[in-house]
């Protein structure tokens, strides 16, 4: 009896060693949830190289077909090497353009400024105006303002005045000049004191008067 018990214990220790990992079939057990998820992520997409072209939205175009990809307004042709897109030399936008559209392959000016801006004011094309009494200006078709500034002649007096809305100064009292600190009219001799008689130069109104001494009329002694 004791011999049978000893043989049973020996079998219990030997049997686990006879079961090897190769004997376990993994197909008999379901995979973990994590393993299933990782295997599903490896999706296989169709390869369109040499067969067609795909735009930014995922649309597929056949070889030779023209299309507009999402990143460009210029048309492209689908080739075996991929999309071949037009790259035209677009005309320059007018510097006075106020409305530009980008719907086509090249930007297009839809509205050009039809006025001139000068010192904060707007003027119509070919409109003439005077921003100051001495300026005459016109709004040109090029949206540029061309002005002419009046060239005033030298006034024939030493005390010219500026009248409202007039460009050049005027001599309200006629031609004159200085005799010392006294203003004398031109064209006549003026006795400025007891000893001096003066007159203005002809045409040189800015020069001092020419004076000559005469016999002084001294005060009689009492």
Q: What is the pLDDT of residues 50-64, one digit of tens each?
A: 678 888 778 888 888
Mean pLDDT of the region 207-218: 80
Instruction: Report yes or no: 171 and 183 within 8 Å, Cβ to Cβ.
Output: no
Residue with tokens 């005060």: 219
Topology (CATH) of 115-149: Complement Module; domain 1 (2.10.70)
Q: Where in the chain is the domain with CATH 2.10.70?
A: 115-149
Cα torsion at 180, 185, 191, 196 (round to 10°)? 40
Give how far Cα 66 sits from Cα of 39, 58, 60, 74, Å. 38, 15, 11, 10
Query: Which of these, 110, 106, 116, lies nearest to 94 by C-alpha position?
Result: 110
Spatial neighbors of 147 by CB under 8 A, at least 6 apart, are 131, 135, 136, 137, 138
Could you tell me which residues are beta bridge partners of residue 161?
170
Residue with tokens 């009292």: 173
- How much is the pLDDT for 46? 54
Q: Which residue has the higher pLDDT, 39 or 136?
A: 136
C-alpha neighbours within 13 Å on the C-beta side of residue 156? 11
Tokens of 89: 């030399």
Binning pLDDT at 50, 70 and 90, where does residue 176 land? very high
Alpha carbon distance 39, 27 (integer Å): 16
Q: What is the pLDDT of residues 1-29, one digit of tens each?
A: 444 444 444 444 444 444 444 444 444 44
Mode of pairing for the β-strands spanning 145-149 and 52-54: unpaired
pTM: 0.39
- A 10 A CB-CB count for 137 gives 20
Alpha carbon distance 124, 138 (integer Å): 9
Instruction: Report yes or no: 185 and 202 within 8 Å, Cβ to Cβ.
Output: no
Q: What is the pLDDT of residues 120-175, one digit of tens each?
A: 999 999 999 999 888 999 999 888 899 999 888 888 899 999 888 888 999 988 99
Residues constituting the chain:
222
Tokens of 147: 């002005």
Chain centre distance of CA 205: 53
Alpha carbon distance 137, 68 (integer Å): 50
**Segment among 24-28, 116-120, 176-180, 194-198 with least mean pLDDT:** 24-28
């Amino acid at each position: 009896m004791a011999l049978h018990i000893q043989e049973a214990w020996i079998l219990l220790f030997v049997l686990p060693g006879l079961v090897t990992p190769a004997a376990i079939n993994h197909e008999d057990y379901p995979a973990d949830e994590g393993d299933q998820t990782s295997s599903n992520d490896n999706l296989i997409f169709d390869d369109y190289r040499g067969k067609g072209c795909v735009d930014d939205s995922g649309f597929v175009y056949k070889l030779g077909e023209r299309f507009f990809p999402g990143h460009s307004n210029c048309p492209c042709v689908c080739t075996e090497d991929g999309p071949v897109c037009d790259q035209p030399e677009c005309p320059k936008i007018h510097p006075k353009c106020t409305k530009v559209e980008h719907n086509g392959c090249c930007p297009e000016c839809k509205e050009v400024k039809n006025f001139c801006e000068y010192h904060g004011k707007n003027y119509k094309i070919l409109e003439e105006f005077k921003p100051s009494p001495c300026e005459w200006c016109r709004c040109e078709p090029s949206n540029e303002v061309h002005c002419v500034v009046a060239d005033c002649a030298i006034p024939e007096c030493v005390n010219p005045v500026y009248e409202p809305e007039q460009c050049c100064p005027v001599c309200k009292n006629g031609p004159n000049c200085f005799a010392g600190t006294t203003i004398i009219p031109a064209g006549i001799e003026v006795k400025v004191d007891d000893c001096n008689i003066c007159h203005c130069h002809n045409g040189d109104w800015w020069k001092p008067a020419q004076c000559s001494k005469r016999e002084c009329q001294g005060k009689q002694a009492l």
